Amino acid sequence: MRQMAADRSRERVSIGDLFQTMGDRAIGALMLIFALPNAFPTPPGTSSLLGAPLIFLAAQLTFGLKPWLPKAIAARSMRREDFETIVGRIHPWLAWAERMLQPRLSIFVEPPAEYLAGFCCLVLAIVLVLPVPLGNILPAIAISLFAFAILGRDGLFSLLGFAMTAVSLVVAGGVIYGLVKAAIYIVMRWFG
């Protein structure tokens, strides 16, 4: 990715370019690219924009499909300079992960556990797309952990992803429950 970001002959970098460059590691790398920015506070709407491709990728992982992207997604591109900025931001995380990742606990990164991880990512990506205040940070961290597990074939990161999924869903469920209760209370007070 750093080579692609530094290639001054390119004006734009498309998702298809990334997908092709990553080869068999593409699904994990793309999930990380779309999830990791949401692990930090971002402008409203960012999680919906980045969450949509995550739904597509997580569904493929859930059903054990060979990764592919429709032309509408693969053709999306950004300026090379913007891509270089993103790579610069996520590089420290990737460097940390490369030091930490090692093939271990392989039972948690092979089918059927891999399909379960894909299903968790699918549910989390749907939560990520929902307009829940601050509801994108924990799901994005969980998806990033699963992406690291896929990239490094590291079952420990997969286990951490499963744990973070449970925490994310409890927190998001609590926030959604609180919002619904508040809306019902306001409606009842308004008409009562």
Query: What is the residue type of 107?
Result: I
* Two structure tokens written together for 61: 């992982």
Residues 52 and 129 sit within 8 Å (Cβ to Cβ):
yes
pLDDT, one tens digit for every residue, the chain (192 residues): 777 777 888 888 887 887 777 776 778 888 988 898 888 777 777 777 778 889 989 999 999 887 777 787 777 777 888 878 877 777 787 787 778 888 999 999 999 999 999 999 999 999 888 877 667 889 999 999 999 999 889 999 999 999 999 999 999 888 888 888 999 999 999 886
What's residue 185's pLDDT?
93
Tokens 């920015």 correspond to what residue?
37
- Tell me the residue ranges of DSSP E strands in the chain: 12-14, 77-79
Whether the full predicted model's pTM is greater than 0.75, yes or no, is yes
3-state secondary structure 104-156: ECHHHCCCCHHHHHHHHHHHHHHHHHCCCCCCCHHHHHHHHHHHHHHHHCEHH
Extract the tokens encoding 4.
Answer: 């692609």
Quote the pLDDT of residue 24. Answer: 66
pLDDT for 118: 95
pLDDT of residue 16: 80
For residue 89, the Cα-to-chain-centroid distance in whole angstroms is: 16
Give CA–CA dist 12/83, Å, rounded.
8
Beta bridge partners of 60: none
Return the closest-CA partner of residue 144 out of 130, 128, 133: 128
As a whole number of angstroms, the distance between CA 31 and CA 49 comes to 13
Q: Bin 134: left if φ > 0, else alpha if -120 < ψ < 50, else beta.
A: left
User: Rounded distance, CA 15 to CA 10, Å?
Assistant: 14
Structure tokens at 49: 């924009």
Q: What is the DSSP string of 36-85?
A: GGGGS---TTHHHHHHHHHHHHHHHHHTTPPP---HHHHT-EEEHHHHHH
Cα separation, 58 vs 107, in Å, equals: 19
